[in-house]
Amino acid sequence: MKKILIFAGTTEGRKLSECLSAAQIEHTLCVATQYGETALNGHTSATVHRGRMKRDEMAEYIRKGGFAAVVDATHPYAVETTENIRAAMQGLEIPYLRLKRETDSRGETEGKIYHFDTMEACAKALEKTDGNILLTVGSKNLNIFCASEEVKNRLYVRTLPSVESITMCLEQGIKGSNILALQGPFTVEMNEAVIRQYRIGCLVTKESGSVGGYQAKLEAAQRTDIPVFAVGNSKEDTGFSFGEVCRMIGDICGTAVKLQDRIEIVLAGVGMGDKSSLTREVQCAVESADVIFGAERMIAQYRPRIEKKPYYKAEQIIPYIHKMQENLTSAGGKVVVLFSGDTGFYSGCRALYEALRTEINLGRLNAFVHIMPGISSIAYLAACIGESYQDAAVYSMHEKKLSGIANRIRKSEKNFLLMSGAEDVRELGKALLEAQMYKCGILAGYMLSYPEQRIMPLTPEECCNITEEGLYTCFVRNPYANRRKLTHGKADADFIREDVPMTKEEVREVSICKLKLYEDAVVYDIGSGTGSIAAEIAGLSDDIQVYAIERKAEAASLIEKNKKKFCLENITVVAAEAPDGIEGLPVPTHAFIGGSGGRLKEILSALYGINSEMRIVINAVSMETICEIKEILHYYPIQNEDIVQMQISRAKRAGGHRLMLAENPVWICAFDFCPKGGGK
């Protein structure tokens, strides 16, 4: 199989390696430093040769390697390297392909820009300036700018974070405090921050394309009102475009090399946030990213090749990707969006994935998107404390629909909780104390995976006193947990009743069964009385929302007491008369009507207007209400009609005997509304 040799020194070199790997073409990349090797890490079909070579060493390496072609993808300013490569190939009958870096100075930011043909001319001009100088031309030409002692003492040198580059700076007498060892390109904001931090009076740069960060430097200089000394390439960078090089290699090797002209978008879980918790897959994606998005704390430690932005919502990210499409390289750029924890576990990843897929399917975005999972803080905490989580309940305290955390914990011995910060820990403690669950033991994982990580054993009371801000994940062991009943049903005596009428136990059971409830149901309990129906329904699932609507003040107060007794935060008490009181409430899926105050027809009309497909159950005791129900069944389009009459007798002791005493007979009428034209 034919092999290709690439002298790599630019982003285009890395992109070319990716394209050749995709085509399964064997190739060797020659890089000068370990830093360059790291930047090219992870490409299949590729081997890396690290170290600078002289002209004769290059010639020997090329002859022995048996390469079918040599690609020069070094930087346009690496004139000496390019000359050495060309000289080394003299007499060899293999193609030399110069990969031309696209430079573009169109639309330069207006400002004080002075152009120089050579580094020497630029260095001479700096002698006539005042103030600190930010030098961003690399360390190779540093000796030119250090020739003048007066200029050298004002230099702040931004260079690659490699041992070789830093050593060059030190050898030229640059103080450690004046060496900025960072990977670029940099954002406008980053450049501006450096200029302001070091009180820079002049910025020195090479004229390069967007990949080299030239425009970002110009804009930062304009914002801070300082001049830019720009050194142009003294020799025109002639050669072939990226696409032309790919086509020529394809012809040489007899294998099509496809341009990866689509943007690759990776949605990646970063674990707890520290680099140590990254999977290898995510780490490689981050290291090869052109653009990175994510919460500010997550992206702070990473340096993409072009830019990073503290965005994590679709409405921020998608417009920005549209804007960036032309700036990404012709071979296809890589965008990485970082999410905390695991992408499939209480993450915003899914919403962004769907939004991106919509853009791609509509043809508005030329990209492909895939997801890389991370390690969730739940899994990490479980490992730290030696617990399993397959038999535990898992909740997120910052989930919008979450309610009744104490009641949820009551049902399980082991509970893991995702939290945002100290306030969530205090809320947990408060909820457990109010539920009188004093003996629950809490293990709080603070800043998991970071150097300041701690596992803190806490009581509910101690949770209320947590003030240290940071990221928390908690494990709660509940000694009160009992086996959960598989049937609903509270005894009448369990409720606080006073003098308010209450739907009896057996009637409650049948009425609730007739409602045919499901998860996430929104239920109106109209004429709620003591709130016994509301409490029974709310106790079935923490994800059901119940609105107990009661016109009598003393009854509404009693509902609040029963709500508190049973720790049912998913009940909302509405002290108002129906149908007026239902205005503005969330759209119901079900309604139970235990008392109508003589306004049954008005109530049903209002409910039908809100949701013409909801489920209704009505209890009737008086003959007047029963007659009204008969009328209503013909007035509305309904289906799945179900009417039963219950007669309950309850045994009571009378001396040595038990006598059956009859309760009032109750009619239970159940049906589904249906849109007009449907049903019967």
Report pLDDT digits (tens) over 103-151: 443 333 345 788 887 899 899 989 988 899 999 988 888 999 999 999 9
More confident residue, 466 or 403: 466
327 pLDDT higher than 80? no
Q: Residue 283's CB: how many other CB atoms inside 10 A?
A: 16
Average pLDDT over residues 452-460: 95
pLDDT, residue 413, reads 93
Please spell the DSSP secondary structure of 479-496, one letter per residue: TT--PPPSS----GGGS-
Nearest-angstrom CA–CA distance, 668 and 645: 6
pLDDT, residue 323, reads 84
pLDDT, residue 105, reads 37
- Of 295, 292, 43, nearest to 186 by C-alpha is 292
Q: Span 492-673: which CATH code?
A: 3.40.50.150
| Distance, first Cα to last Cα, the chain | 76
More confident residue, 195 or 77: 195
Residues in the chain: 680
User: CATH class for domain 3-101+237-253?
Assistant: alpha beta
Nearest-angstrom CA–CA distance, 135 and 138: 8
Model confidence band, residue 414 (pLDDT cutoffs 50, 70, 90): very high
What's the Cα-to-Cα distance from 224 to each of 130, 201, 538, rounded to whole Å?
16, 9, 60
- Check: CB of residue 152 under 8 Å from CB of residue 220: no
The set of residues, in sequence order, having a beta carbon less than 8 Å from that of 623 and lying 6+ positions away, is: none
Give the domain ranges of the chain.
3-101+237-253, 113-231, 263-372, 377-477, 492-673
DSSP element (H, E) containing 406: helix 405-410
Using DSSP, state whether 173 is helix, strand or coil: coil
600 pLDDT higher than 60? yes
pLDDT, residue 485, reads 56
Instruction: Tell me the whole-structure pTM to 2 decimals.
Output: 0.52
537 pLDDT higher than 70? yes
Task: Quickly count helices (H) and strands (E) in the chain.
Answer: 24, 30
Average pLDDT over residues 423-427: 93
44 pLDDT higher than 80? no
Angle 576-578-583 (CA atoms, 0-180°, nearest 5)? 80
Nearest-angstrom CA–CA distance, 317 and 265: 11
Checking DSSP bridges between strand 522-526 and strand 590-593, what pairing results, if any? parallel
Average pLDDT over residues 451-466: 94
More confident residue, 499 or 151: 151
The residue type of 391 is D
- Of 129, 126, 167, nearest to 146 by C-alpha is 126
Q: Taking all residues of the chain, what is their mean pLDDT, rounded to a whole number? A: 86
The set of residues, in sequence order, having a beta carbon less than 8 Å from that of 413 and lying 6+ positions away, is: 477, 478, 479, 481
Nearest-angstrom CA–CA distance, 476 and 438: 12
Nearest-angstrom CA–CA distance, 659 and 433: 45
473 pLDDT higher than 80? yes
Model confidence band, residue 680 (pLDDT cutoffs 50, 70, 90): very low
Nearest-angstrom CA–CA distance, 190 and 193: 5
Checking DSSP bridges between strand 113-116 and strand 200-206, what pairing results, if any? unpaired
More confident residue, 257 or 119: 119
pLDDT, residue 372, reads 93
CATH superfamily of 113-231: NAD(P)-binding Rossmann-like Domain (3.40.50.720)
Range in 201-205, 225-229, 270-274, 614-618 the model is least confident about:
270-274
Q: Which residue has the tokens 């600190």?
A: 132
638 pLDDT higher than 80? yes
500 pLDDT higher than 80? no
pLDDT, residue 417, reads 94
Range in 196-200, 464-468, 488-492, 631-635 the model is least confident about:
488-492
pLDDT, residue 208, reads 65
Quick: pLDDT tens for 660-675: 888 889 999 999 998 8
Nearest-angstrom CA–CA distance, 368 and 449: 31
pLDDT, residue 104, reads 40
Q: How many Å separate Cα 437 from the centre of its chain?
A: 34
Angle, in degrees to the nearest 10, between helices 623-635 and 600-610: 30
Nearest-angstrom CA–CA distance, 372 and 278: 11
Q: Span 377-477: which CATH code?
A: 3.30.950.10
More confident residue, 209 or 403: 403
Q: Do domains 3-101+237-253 and 263-372 have the same CATH topology?
A: no
Nearest-angstrom CA–CA distance, 47 and 24: 13
263-372 is classed CATH 3.40.50.300: no
Token duo for residue 124: 């001479």
